[in-house]
Amino acid sequence: MIPDITTPEWLATAPRLPDGCPARWKPIWNAAWKLHQESLRPPLGILNDTWETVGKGYFMPAFGHWDLVHSVLDHLVHDVEFAARQL
């Protein structure tokens, strides 16, 4: 069973670094999954499911920004159902 995407255990379930990638990329790979976790928000108003913002650096949590398409693509390898709900 996959842990709830909002828990710290989620990072531990991130997909392993793809074959052929240099081992030195592992810290960046893990940092990307940590950023996803930090960008998640609980249900709010009409958003009745966990939703992902565009991440740190924006003046407010943004929803529906083009960058979120790339976040959804990242989630496809981890949790297809979550990715579909984000779309």
pLDDT per position as a tens digit, 19-71: 888 999 988 888 888 888 888 888 888 888 888 887 766 666 555 567 778 78
DSSP element (H, E) containing 35? helix 26-38
Higher pLDDT, 38 or 78: 38
Q: Would the pTM count as exceeding 0.85?
A: no
For residue 9, the surrounding DSSP H or E stretch is helix 9-12
Please name the residues in contact with 68: beta carbons below 8 A apart, sequence gap of 6 or more: 52, 54, 86
Q: Which class for 20: exposed (0-12), middle (13-18), buried (19 or more C-beta within 10 A)?
A: exposed
